[in-house]
Chains A and B, each alone.
Chain A
Amino acid sequence: MSESTIQIALVLPDLLGTYGDFGNAVVLEKRMTWRGIKAEIVPINYGQPVPDSCDIYVVGGGEDTAQTLAVKHLREHPGLQRAVTKNAVVLGVCAGIQIFGESFTRADNVTHPGMGLIDSTSHAGGSRAIGEVIAEPADGLFAGPLTGFENHQGRTVLGPAARPLAHVKVGTGNDGSVEGAVQGRIVCTYLHGPVLPRNPALADMLIEWATGTKVAPIDLPAVTAMRAERVKAAS
């Protein structure tokens, strides 16, 4: 493996791959290779140690049992946590936002420790939030709107060290008002779709963080058309 290859760790796809979030890794890889940046996806399966040498870590959504196992595995093999101290870029989706936090409490009122990577706590909400979401990226982080599909029971409260990723226009997100979290180079969101195919500007922001260089936009008519359709359908 040459040193200049950007490695995208796909973290526990066998446990946290319920909602097509594998697509996030594909989008990162393709958007880099199409621009002549060498990139490869490194799947890290349940039972394997987690390397701390990857440039980007992508963590997807999963069911409750799978999520509990995933957090146990990631605490036993703390490669991801070490990578964060070395400035790796991390995308956590759905279960990601819950397990990266300080703790998450399920509907049965049992509180599980999280990985402590972002200043947040999650708990079970009254009803499951299901449907299209439209949100405006916070602080002009990337070109909006942020769009996606949410399907989660959890609600998340951010502490002072974490900033919201976006402000909700349609849908629920963390709590009905803000969506996701950003802390250092960690980005979390409740949105599937998957989120990066839906939001190329967010994908490019992560790529710029990982490569340290500005990238030129890529014109994909299908993506532009899909974004317009989804925004129209949700409004």
Chain B
Amino acid sequence: MNDSPARLPLRTAAAVKLGNLSSTLSQKMGLGAGGMIGGRVALKLDPQALNRLTQGRRVAVVTGTNGKTTSTMMLARAVGALGEVATNHSGANMPDGHVTALSKQPDAPYAVLECDEAYFPAVAGASNPSVAVILNLSRDQLDRVGEVRTIERSLRDAINKLQNCTIVANCDDVMVTSAAWNASKVVWVATGTGWHHDSASCPRCGSPIQWQGEHWHCTGCDLARPHPNWITADEAMITPEHQKLELRLTLPGKFNQANAVMASAAAHAMGVSADEAVRRLRGVSNVSGRYRTIQRNGRSARLLLSKNPAGWSETLTVVKEANHPAVLVINAQEADGRDLSWLWDVPFERLQGRTVIASGERATDLAVRLTYAEVQHTIVPDPLKAIDQMPQGAVEVIANYTAFRDLNARAAADE
């Protein structure tokens, strides 16, 4: 199983070659990062490309609403202990992004693929994964991705079809637990994180879910929090062998500890020891520009990405410790979801008393939300100008998907 990937059929090889050429051209002509176009060309020429490109490799697929990119990077780092790993970066997490990543490293015996939750059934079906990591499921881009229960149902069906695959699942998330409940092999991870607002009722039978501390169970069927194999403790994790390992992550926040433990459990399932996994993933510091700090005229601005209510809620907790001024950047392009109703599910009230600027293409929608949250603010649609208008010193910048992507690219160009 672990030797080098099978030789590609001529059609796939040609498709991959043309695809790689498109990526290079796209980068050279400044059209894009080349993360997807190559894969798009290859998939057009050979629809089976993903299946063929994963043959002979050991594949891990990572999905969920939040933390995919970070967990994928951590897992790829950890699996690097075993050999070369092909992996998709910067959120190019649909099949064209996978084909691009795999084509660039045709000889890597391992692949770690971040996968958009809507594409999980297709990607898992095509790539015969050894490990599938299901991080969490909560409301996100309802107009594009659909409702959480629909996603849970499609993941459940896809997982039940997988053969010889270890599912690494977050048992503190009711939706994830339901999706993985009937899988033949599951490793349960207590992440200590969870957004409970989408799981008042059981995704299987509709009865109320009852919580008692960390434990939860359905009052109508047998769905209940499984006994975890891995546990996220305070800044540490407890392995199935009851070994306690300090995490000492570079990345901030409780949700990154959860990502690290999920990645360690997945790496362990791929054959990496727990200490080795943690030692390797600890160094992850800058995930496609997230968490990095940029310097602008005496301001050091930390860039944070948050895409949905659960993500924003966690990020507001991270920025809570220091009372730094905050620039909040909101777009509503197709990739963000066009409907901004979710802004009302974010507890912006926590920013009361802080210096806040509303920014982004939909700064006024955010300003309305902040007005009703009684958070004093000004509106500066351009996020770089917003940073410049803050007092000198530390500034937190929280942006949603396309807002973050564009800001990150502009900040990188300025450096």
Contacts and interface: CB of A to CB of B under 8 A. Distances in A.
Question: Do A and B originate from a single complex?
Answer: yes
Nearest to B200: A14
B339 A149 contact: yes
Interface string A58-86: 00000111101100000000000000000
Contact of A63 (B149, B340, B371): B149
A19 B142 contact: yes
A138 interface: no
B368 A197 contact: yes
Contacts of B373: 26
| Interface majority SS (helix, strand, loop, mixed), chain B | helix
A27 interface: yes
A17 interface: yes
Given A19-B142, A65-B149, A46 B341 contact: no
B390 interface: no
A21 B365 CA distance: 15
Contacts of A226: 364-365, 367-368
Interface stretch (A98-106, A117-125, A206-214, A217-225): A217-225
A35 interface: no
Contact of A20 (B341, B364, B370, B379): B341
Contacts of A183: none
Contacts of A27: 372
A63 B147 contact: yes
A139 interface: no
Interface residues of B, number: 33
Interface in A14-33: 14-15, 17-23, 26-27, 30
A106 to B, nearest CB: 14
Interface string B121-148: 0000000000000000001001100011
Interface in B318-377: 338-345, 364-365, 367-374
Contacts of A66: 149, 200-201
B206 interface: yes
B338 A149 contact: yes
A192 B200 CA distance: 21
A132 B332 CA distance: 12
A151 B142 contact: yes
Contacts of A45: 200
A131 B334 CA distance: 11
Given A63-B148, A223-B368, A22 B345 contact: yes
Contacts of B344: 20-23, 26, 194, 197
A220 B368 CA distance: 8
Contact of A15 (B201, B341, B343): B201
A170 to B, nearest CB: 14
A65 B143 CA distance: 18
Given A63-B147, A223-B371, A21 B364 contact: no
Contact of B345 (A15, A20, A69): A20
B28 interface: no
Contacts of A64: 149
A149 B332 CA distance: 12
Nearest to A225: B364
Instruction: Kindly list the 10 A-B residue pairs having the minimum CB-CB distance in the complex, ordered from nearest.
Output: A23-B344, A20-B344, A14-B200, A20-B341, A222-B367, A226-B364, A63-B147, A192-B341, A19-B341, A149-B339
Given A27-B372, A220-B368, A225-B367, 4 more contacts: A19-B341, A26-B372, A151-B142, A194-B344
9 contacts: A17-B197, A19-B339, A47-B208, A63-B149, A130-B338, A151-B143, A194-B341, A223-B371, A225-B364
